[in-house]
Amino acid sequence: MNSDGSDSQKKKSPGDGFGGPRLPDLKPFKDWKFSAVYVVILVAGITFFNYVFIKRANPTIDFSEFKAKIVSGEIKRVELTDSYFTGYTAAQREAPEPAGNGLRNRHPPKEPVYRAVPINDPDIIKLMDEKRVSYYAVSREGNLILSILFSWVLPVGVLFLIWRLILKRLRTMGGNVLSVGQNKAVILAEGDVATCFSDVAGVDEAKEELVEVVDFLKNPRKYTDIGGKIPKGVLLVGPPGTGKTLLARAVAGEAGVAFFRMSGADFVEMFVGVGAARVRDLFKQAREKAPCIIFIDELDAIGKSRLNSVAGGNDEREQTLNQLLVEMDGFEGTGGLIILGATNRPDVLDPALLRPGRFDRQVLVDRPDLKGREAILRIHARAVKLSREVCLDGVARITSGFSGADLANIVNEAALLAVRSGRTLVEQRDFSEAIEKIVAGLQKKTRVIPPEERRLTAYHEAGHALVAAFTPNADQVQKISIIPRGVSLGYTIQMPAEDRYTITRSYLLGRIAMLLGGRVAEEMASGEYSTGAANDLMKATDIARKMITDYGMSERFRNVALASRGAGGNREEPLFQREYAESTQQYVDEEIARILAEEYGKTKRMLEERRSMLDEVAQALLDKETLDEREFKAITAAGGAGGTAWPPVVSE
């Protein structure tokens, strides 16, 4: 084998290396595609050939003139056909008679040939007998090329064109009738995937589980000798962007066995039964290549629970799910097959999929911690030219709550910002700008803001920052700016100092106070409200509602969860279904209003006590437009303490 994987001795075509003629290169014909234009060109070419090279017929004469030439003795031989009577003179008398198949081998005549359209005249035969004119009848002759063209080429071409149009239409509708039952899995052989476990960071526990799976495929006797069995199915569960598909690619790169990759949506088609047929075909091919791995991404597309189906549910999806359940743990063995699944909605999966014997091992792929974020940043920064001053540890500390995909996006955005600024190395400020761009939005440098709105925005952001600075356990203020980004006129970015995974009631109340700080500052500065606090009020109201309905932090319903999540809900965005009385709903609304009013009063008193500090921070924002953490602390001579595991807080 050569270095490129091809054989060292290539097959030779006849004539290659033997001095003979080389065969023409047929590669251009492999890419030939059917088109109706080719049919038109073919018909035009044959018609032109027939017009130029096929002998044109002699002009006809009147039938009476034809009889007169017989009477005068000029015509000595007559050829009778259904279309014409053709008369030949004495100079052509010696021409060969017709062959047995009805075709003549005529040479171009030297004397005129007379043709007449036949008329039903019974005396014509008697006339030719009297004048001793030889006559004979021949079958109707046609042009062989045109006969083949109109009898075979054109009908077949038209049928082929119709078939192609129907086929294209069916593909557009979502299915090919000739292969609807075949699975659409992408089969990856050993060496086709370059990703390995060293390219995955931040999910060490999940990686260890999959390392064991790969080790079983490479060394099965180590487990079978002791009587152990590897799990048949491993389900990767976690929020979007945490690296579930990346882990599956790493398994494909490390396993050294065939790897079948398919999305859950690829099973479902418009025809009922197609999904089940594709599942059967997928497992049939996998058993033939065992040991191997089957990876089904977005498993919830076909694995949704059948318990909450209304009116029979979706027959196609349920048949596909039933077939998948049978293939994973039916009468037929699945020895040597390991099924990997990935989903970010495990709560909607059918219980039959999660029982032992199927997806009996669930691996949580969660957002990375501080150490994991730094490792992920270093992996993505391998191909990026960094300045020596860049501190990835600092970037990891201010990106709490970011997923692996978010961190990869930050590195890429920082590189693009460095190129946009004309630098050849990525600096720390590029990472800071990239984080702000992702968290707060794109900077609007050309937007012109009226002076009064700019002043109101400065007080709004100063109110957020001061409340956060003097609220216990609040997140630290990282940056304050009145430069428009996205849809907001200004923003205050808070970053937690450390990861924390439980949230206390005092922290939630402090977060509500911080969100209300912007509106309080506006009221103190202008004496009225504005619409700039709409997003803050929405976030504060949502926190207060969750405190009552989710966290059991109300006086009347302490330790009671009032919100119930139905089918289709998930941890990130629950689908609330009210299962309590109307009076309870009224209490929830009143309690939300009470919490917000109470925190609004506390916030107003806090800022009134620090009115001079509020004016100083607002004026600094009007002068500089942006204050970083050091400049803000210099003004307040105080800073927030503590931190949480929540994502960065952006107050508009």
Q: At what angle do helices 123-130 and 63-72 cross, to 10 degrees?
A: 20
Q: Which of 468, 473, 471 is nearest to 494 (CA)?
A: 468
Q: Where are the beta strands (DSSP E) in 147-240?
A: 186-188, 233-237
Q: How many CB atoms lie within 10 A of CB 232?
A: 18
Identify whether the C-beta of residue 189 lies closer than 8 Å to the C-beta of residue 265.
no
Beta-bridge partner residues of 233: 339
Pairing of strands 186-188, 292-297: unpaired
User: Edge-to-edge, what's the strand order for the sheet holding 292-297?
Assistant: 186-188, 258-263, 292-297, 337-343, 233-237, 361-364
Tell me the two tokens of residue 62: 């009147």
Q: Is 461 a catalytic residue?
A: yes
Q: How many CB atoms lie within 10 A of CB 260?
A: 23
Residue type, 7: D
Q: Does the CA dihedral 310-316-320-322 come out positive or negative?
A: positive
Tokens 């259904």 belong to 82
Instruction: Go through 1-28 and write b for each residue having 16 or more CB atoms within 10 A of its CB, e for each that does not.
Output: eeeeeeeeeeeeeeeeeeeeeeeeeeee
**What is the CA angle 141-147-151, rounded to 5?**
135
Residue type, 93: R
Distances from the Cα of 321 to the Cα of 308, 310, 569, angstroms = 15, 17, 20
Instruction: Go through 579-601 and write b for each residue having 16 or more CB atoms within 10 A of its CB, e for each that does not.
Output: eeeeebeebbeebbeebbeebbe
Backbone angles phi, psi at 477, to 5 degrees: -80, 120
Report DSSP state, residue 149. Answer: I
Rounded distance, CA 327 to CA 622, Å? 67
Rounded distance, CA 384 to CA 380, Å? 8
Tokens 């400020």 belong to 429
Q: Which of 96, 91, 81 is nearest to 113 (CA)?
A: 91
Rounded distance, CA 75 to CA 268, Å? 80
Residue type, 98: P
The region that residue 241 occupies, defined by phi over 0 for left and psi between -120 and 50 for alpha, beta otherwise, is left
Identify whether the C-beta of residue 462 lies closer than 8 Å to the C-beta of residue 626.
no
Rounded distance, CA 204 to CA 368, Å? 9
Tell me the two tokens of residue 289: 């290549």
Beta-bridge partner residues of 293: 259, 338
DSSP string, 219-268: -THHHHTTT----SEEEEE-STTSSHHHHHHHHHHHH-SEEEEEEGGGG-
Tell me which of 209, 461, 523, 599 is the catalytic residue.
461
Which residues are designated catalytic? 461
